[in-house]
Amino acid sequence: MDRLLFGDNQFFGINHMSEEKARSQAIRFQDASSILEVLEDAYDEGIRTFMCTTHERIGEICDHVREHPARWEGMVFFPCMPYAHKYANAVTEEGMLGALRRFLPKGGTIDAVMRGGRSFATKDIEGIITLLVDAEMAMFRGLPTPVVFLQNVVVDLLLGLGFDEAFAIFAKHVAKRYGAEPGFITMNLPLLLDALDRAGIDNPIVCSNINKLAFRVSGGLDGYERVLSSRRFRPIAMSVFASGAIPPREALEWIHEQAAIESIVFGASSAHNIRSTVRLVDAIWSDAAVVPPVLAATT
């Protein structure tokens, strides 16, 4: 995974500190062209991984990338599913199978509906889970998706229910059908790692809030620091700036001290903020790389 991953919260009116800012961003990014402008800025700064939800507007982004492969050479997507509001609205309007018809590729609709009907009739949990994953992945057809994430809205529900088997079903399906590694987003990192161990998922990719202020860090920072130093997994840190409560350099220097963290996912809506983050990360990690070992041991 790349050190910096570009997220999409800012495009869909999500801001954990300011409702006013969230509303203004939602208005600004009402169409795909405005999202593409920011993605182009990120790409031009060397960012090649877009960690995104399966919002309908992301489908338009995928269409554009497929149509302009030269402009987006090397671009990869990390889909995060499900996008709960999209599904809730579709199911309310059209029912479960109607929602699947809307989201699945045209060529797979009949098979999917038949598979879905059998699954719901027999309460086949594996069939239902894999069908929903296929519905969400349809918009990414033909695009590189080396990691596929299960969103925290589902991960933490399954965690609370003690349904560890669902994690194994998801992991097996994305590996077999899409040649991808499974990823998991959670609001409670220590508890999820225990569940993934029980599910037999080795060295998992897990994305969670990790920041110096323990902002939205369920279970407390001590528990997070403990698993970061003692457990075998591949951590991705999100909310590293605590929605602006931590100065960027201070936030990233603290993240750098957590040696196990492989990647940082961040969102930005301007070329200036993207450039500042990229250059700050490059500087912090480069400076650390050239510190002589003796000096590093004494500082």
- pLDDT of 95 higher than 80: no
Q: Please report the pLDDT score of residue 293 as a whole number.
A: 42
Six-digit token string for 299:
């500082």
Q: CA 195, 196, 200, 204: dihedral to nearest 10 degrees?
A: -170
Q: What backbone torsions phi and psi does residue 39 show, to the nearest 5 degrees?
A: -60, -35
Range of the domain at 188: 4-298
**CA-based torsion, 18, 148, 163, 104: positive or negative:** positive
| 290/284 Cα distance (integer angstroms) | 10
The answer for residues whose C-beta is within 8 angstroms of residue 254's C-beta and 6 or more apart is 211, 212, 246
Asked if omega into 204 is within 30° of 0 (cis), the reply is no
| 43/64 Cα distance (integer angstroms) | 14
pLDDT tens string 246-268: 999 999 999 999 999 999 999 99
Q: What is the rounded average pLDDT for all residues in the chain?
A: 85
- pLDDT category, 91, cuts 50, 70, 90? low
- pLDDT category, 90, cuts 50, 70, 90? low
Q: Please report the pLDDT score of residue 102 as a whole number.
A: 62
Mean pLDDT lowest for which of 5-9, 13-17, 119-123?
119-123
The mean per-residue pLDDT over the stretch 90-111 comes to 58
- pLDDT of 122 higher than 50: no
The H-or-E segment that residue 293 falls in is helix 293-298
| 186/192 Cα distance (integer angstroms) | 7
- pLDDT category, 101, cuts 50, 70, 90? low
- pLDDT of 162 higher than 80: yes
Q: Please report the pLDDT score of residue 23 as a whole number.
A: 64
pLDDT tens string 263-285: 999 999 899 999 999 999 999 99
Residues in the chain: 299
Q: Please report the pLDDT score of residue 12 as a whole number.
A: 82
> Quick one: how far is CA 101 from the chain centroid?
25
- pLDDT category, 130, cuts 50, 70, 90? confident
Long-range contacts, stretch 64-67, CB < 8 angstroms, 24+ apart:
64/32, 64/36, 65/143, 66/142, 66/143
Q: Please report the pLDDT score of residue 131 as a whole number.
A: 82
| SS percent in the chain: helix, strand, coil, step 5 | 60, 15, 30
For the chain, the first-to-last Cα distance in angstroms comes to: 29
Which residue(s) pair with 263 in the sheet?
Answer: 236
pTM over 0.85: no
Best CA proximity match to 35, nearest among 19, 13, 58, 66: 58
Instruction: Identify the CATH number of the domain in which residue 66 sits.
Output: 3.20.20.100
Higher pLDDT, 177 or 13: 177
The answer for residues whose C-beta is within 8 angstroms of residue 204's C-beta and 6 or more apart is 171, 182, 183, 184, 193, 196, 233, 234
Number of separate domains in the chain: 1
Six-digit token string for 196:
């993934």
pLDDT tens string 17-63: 556 665 666 667 778 899 999 999 999 999 999 999 998 899 999 99
Q: Please report the pLDDT score of residue 87 as a whole number.
A: 60
Supply the Cα-derived Rg of the chain in whole angstroms. Answer: 20
pLDDT tens string 199-244: 999 999 999 999 999 988 888 899 999 999 999 999 999 999 998 8
